[in-house]
C-alpha cells in the first residue's frame, strides 16, 4: 500500500470578534460529528489562497478575504495517510452561511465556545500558534 499525503487549507473566518466553526455530518468518514474551522483540499496546480476561497464558497457559501498565513501543521489519519494543513486568517462581511451536505451546523463562536467545542488537537494547534491572542477575537 502506498503512502499518501494530502495538502489542505483551513480558514479561521472572523466576523465581529467571532470565529465561524462548522460541524461535520455524522456520516462523514473523517471527524464525523466534530466541530472545526472550514478546511478543504487543494487541487493540483491550484494556488493556496485560491483553493481556500473556493473551498469556503463551496462548503459554506461565503465570500471571504484571506488576510495571511498563520501556521502549518501535519498529522496522520491512518498509518498510510498524512495530512498537511495550512491555516489562514480570513474575514467575512456576511454572517449568513449556506452549508454544504458535508456539514450539519454552524456557529459564529466566541473564544470560550471555541475552547469548549473544538477537538483537543485543534485547540493544541491554536494554543501553540497563539491563535487565542489575536486581538479581533473576543
Global pTM? 0.92
Q: Domain for residue 124, yes or no?
A: yes
- Which residue do the cell numbers 468518514 mark? 29
Q: Domain for residue 137, yes or no?
A: no
Q: What are phi and psi of 23, to 5 degrees?
A: -105, 125
Q: SS3 letters for 36-55?
A: ECEEEECCCCCCHHHHHHHH
Distance (Å, whole) CA 121 – CA 98: 27
Digit-coded pLDDT (tens) for 66-102: 999 999 999 998 899 999 999 999 999 999 999 999 9
Compute the chain's Rg from CA coordinates: 14
Q: Domain for residue 100, yes or no?
A: yes
Concatenated DSSP letters for 79-91? Answer: TTEEEEEEEEEEE
- Output the pLDDT for position 138: 55
119: its cell numbers:
477537538
| pLDDT over threshold 80, residue 136 | no
The count of structural domains within the chain is: 1
Q: Domain for residue 95, yes or no?
A: yes
Distance (Å, whole) CA 138 – CA 133: 9
- Which residue do the cell numbers 474551522 mark? 37
Digit-coded pLDDT (tens) for 6-48: 999 999 999 999 999 999 988 877 777 899 999 999 999 999 9
Q: Domain for residue 1, yes or no?
A: no
Q: Domain for residue 90, yes or no?
A: yes
Where in the sequence is the domain holding 88, given as residue range(s)?
Answer: 7-131
Q: Domain for residue 14, yes or no?
A: yes
- Output the pLDDT for position 77: 85
What's the pLDDT band for 1 if we cut at 50, 70, 90? confident
Distance (Å, whole) CA 136 – CA 103: 26
- Output the pLDDT for position 123: 94
Q: Are strands 18-24 and 81-91 parallel, antiparallel or unpaired?
A: unpaired
Q: Domain for residue 136, yes or no?
A: no
CATH of the domain at 48: 3.90.79.10
Amino acid at each position: 500500500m502506498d503512502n499518501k499525503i494530502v495538502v489542505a487549507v483551513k480558514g479561521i473566518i472572523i466576523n465581529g470578534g467571532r470565529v465561524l466553526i462548522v460541524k461535520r455530518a455524522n456520516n462523514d468518514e473523517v471527524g464525523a460529528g466534530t466541530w472545526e474551522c472550514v478546511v478543504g483540499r487543494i487541487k493540483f496546480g491550484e494556488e493556496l489562497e485560491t483553493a481556500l476561497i473556493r473551498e469556503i464558497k463551496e462548503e459554506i457559501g461565503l465570500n471571504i478575504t484571506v488576510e495571511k498565513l498563520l501556521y502549518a501543521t501535519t498529522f496522520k489519519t491512518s498509518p498510510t495517510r498524512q495530512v498537511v494543513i495550512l491555516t489562514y486568517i480570513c474575514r467575512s462581511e456576511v454572517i449568513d452561511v449556506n452549508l454544504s451536505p458535508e456539514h450539519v451546523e454552524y456557529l459564529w463562536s466566541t473564544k470560550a465556545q471555541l475552547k469548549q467545542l473544538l477537538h483537543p488537537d485543534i485547540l493544541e494547534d491554536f494554543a501553540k500558534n497563539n491563535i487565542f491572542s489575536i486581538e479581533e477575537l473576543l
